[in-house]
Chain A
Amino acid sequence: MSAQPTNSLQAAEPAEEVKREEVVIQVQELHKTYDLGETQVHALRGVTLEIRRGEFVAIMGASGSGKSTFMNILGCLDKPSSGRYLLEGTDVSSLEKKQLAGIRNRKIGFVFQGFNLLARTTALENTELPTLYSRVDKIERRRRAVEALKMVGLGDRTGHFPSQLSGGQQQRVAIARALVNRPSILLADEPTGNLDSRTSVEVMEIFQSLNDKGLTIILVTHEHDISQFAKRSIVFRDGKIKRDEIIPNPARAAEVLKTMPSVEE
């Protein structure tokens, strides 16, 4: 059920080509069963796939297809019932809760549909949050948070509270927060679900520019338009991968934005 994406589409300098060969995520025969007393729910029924560094994968599927469960396992929030999950070569399925928290902290960046920023906390402090849980000193923390906010184009909004920011800006703060610990992968769960179409494309523009710089991004979405900004699309159905294909010519969000009517802010 797995497909090997070719990297020929990811045109870049040959030097970076080598790096992109590296497998970041390797999943083998992943099963997840929820025991609901009398009945058992098979959320995943054998998922095998590999994701290499620098990929931009869109995961699609109807609700109940198992894509959320798969994302939770990838994000080390949940453990598979059986099967193996190697993140950068580490077998994550055998780790303790505390070690998983460490993996989530250092190797995974989360972006949620609902932004999930802390209210009455500035953009900078929200961005800093993951560094509080890792051994980073105060000066370095601040430096990284400012850097991450600049990367998402909010270098001038560090002192703003979430309530003073638009939905798109809030989601960008959330992306900055996901980036601040320099993760191996960025997991975005319906990141555009709460945004209007133009803002959605703006967020995708950020994802694409981060991906251009080499960041591995896994995006869960049910919007076909949004998935077209990724380089590879994987469709889940009934707990299995139904389709796994390379998107031949991913749309460039920056181009799409030019064709969209601009909204007065």
Chain B
Amino acid sequence: MDLLSTLRIALRALARNKMRSTLTMLGIIIGVGAVIAMVGIGQGADQTVQRQIANLGSNMLFVSSGSMNRGGLNLGWGATKTLVRADVAAIVRECHAVAAAAPGTQTSAQVVYENDNWGTRITGTTPEYFEIRTWPFQSGAGFTEDDVTNAANVAAIGETVRKNLFSTTEAVGKTIRIGNLPFKVVGVLVAKGQSPAMNEDQDDTIIVPLTTLQKKITGQPWLRFIMVSAKSRSGSYAAQQQIQALLRDRHRIRQEQPDDFTVRNLADLADLASEASKVMTGLLASIAGVSLLVGGIGIMNIMLVSVTERTREIGVRMAIGATEGDVQRQFLIEAVVMSLIGGALGIAVGVGASLLIASTAGWPILVSASAIAGAAVVAMAIGIFFGYYPAQKAARLDPIEALRYE
């Protein structure tokens, strides 16, 4: 018998018991719907975290002056004074996997504009910093290489600082005071929000030329950190190793001695976060998958009932020339059609539920095409798996017995 006729027969058989078919499909509908929604939530969460990490900068590595451990006392970042500007030039020159690098040092200070004042982080760096962090300006622009050379009193401010000092007033061109020094605001950075890696408000900052900060505010010639961007995401691991080797060499660290600096790779962080959300997605999906299994058992149960009910029909079909294969195919396709329709409705329910959760709970939910395709394949596999035994049972019926069945 051709597939089209078999399909028609299957659809008609299902239509004959609408209530029963619908209830049976419900198991698959709920299962597929739950899996899609759960995977959607998991993938949405993953994407958000990845976006936040990417937001820190493109393929970024963070070299900080070392955490020093002296007699059990960990002095944390910036305890060593060996990281210098020459290291930055060397990294750009010698590490092939590196695209750009920017030196940096930091301090905290009180900033004043007219009657308002605000305590914030002051970062001293070079113009590359804005590129590496892929941080554009909402107004104005960054300072230039000349400003760094001349140790000019210019500042780029973050959104949080702008809000607190200027509120509705235009900030670019105004002069603020950092400590006792006047600085001209040259640009306002776009808001980046909370940093997932360092857990701080990235917009609560003022960025000034490195030399200005070193010479006029802190008086310290060494760096707290170097920000590096690798040429590609996959290259960030190579960059990490190259920087490590280069700096050990430059700082003349002997084999057995620990680094006096730390290189952190944001790709690592992204991978870690991704791993965590994968585990969570898997967990959610497998819980939802249990309902799919139950749905499959429901299909098997109903198919067994159906085979028993239609024993005479099977007998007639065999008597007029249906082979065992014909009968088996008929019942198998019936089970698959049921699970596929359930799967299709389940996809609709899952997508609908995802949209509902996204709009009410405000969670970012990502329903991917692969999740939908996967659900369709799983639904079909369930139909085949749980339909096989009943179909086999139908095919094995003895036509004489089947015809006599009351």
How far is A98 from B316 in the complex, measured between Cα atoms in Å?
16
- How many CB-defined contacts (below 8 Å) exist between A and B? 62
How far is A104 from B324 in the complex, measured between Cα atoms in Å?
13
B323 touches A97 (CB 8 A): yes
On whether A129 and B320 interact (CB within 8 A), knowing A77-B400, A118-B313, the answer reads: yes
How far is A72 from B318 in the complex, measured between Cα atoms in Å?
13
A101 touches B403 (CB 8 A): no
A97 touches B324 (CB 8 A): yes
Q: In the assembled complex, how far is the CB of residue A101 from the closest CB belonging to chain B, in whole angstroms? A: 4
- Note all chain A residues with C-beta closer than 8 A to B1: 132-133
A171 adjacent to chain B (CB < 8 Å): no
A133 touches B321 (CB 8 A): yes
A104 touches B319 (CB 8 A): yes
On whether A77 and B319 interact (CB within 8 A), knowing A72-B400, A112-B403, A118-B313, the answer reads: yes
- Note all chain A residues with C-beta closer than 8 A to B16: 120
On whether A110 and B319 interact (CB within 8 A), knowing A77-B400, A116-B403, A132-B5, the answer reads: yes
B320 touches A105 (CB 8 A): yes
Q: Using CB atoms, name the residue of chain A closest to B326.
A: A133
Interface size on A, residues (CB 8 A): 26
B177 adjacent to chain A (CB < 8 Å): no
Q: Mark B211-232, 1 if CB is under 8 A from A, else 0.
A: 0000000000000000000000
B317 adjacent to chain A (CB < 8 Å): yes
B352 adjacent to chain A (CB < 8 Å): no
How far is A76 from B403 in the complex, measured between Cα atoms in Å?
14
A118 touches B316 (CB 8 A): yes
A130 adjacent to chain B (CB < 8 Å): yes
Q: Mark A58-90, 1 if CB is under 8 A from B, else 0.
A: 000000000000001001011000000000000
How far is A58 from B2 in the complex, measured between Cα atoms in Å?
37
On whether A110 and B323 interact (CB within 8 A), knowing A78-B400, A116-B403, the answer reads: no
Q: In the assembled complex, how far is the CB of residue A262 from the closest CB belonging to chain B, in whole angstroms? A: 32
B320 touches A133 (CB 8 A): yes
A177 adjacent to chain B (CB < 8 Å): yes
How far is A79 from B333 in the complex, measured between Cα atoms in Å?
30
- Note all chain B residues with C-beta closer than 8 A to A110: 319-320
- Note all chain A residues with C-beta closer than 8 A to B323: 97-98, 101-102, 133
A133 touches B319 (CB 8 A): no
Q: Which 4 residue pairs of A and B lie closest in terms of their CB atoms, listed nearest first?
A: A105-B321, A133-B321, A101-B323, A130-B320
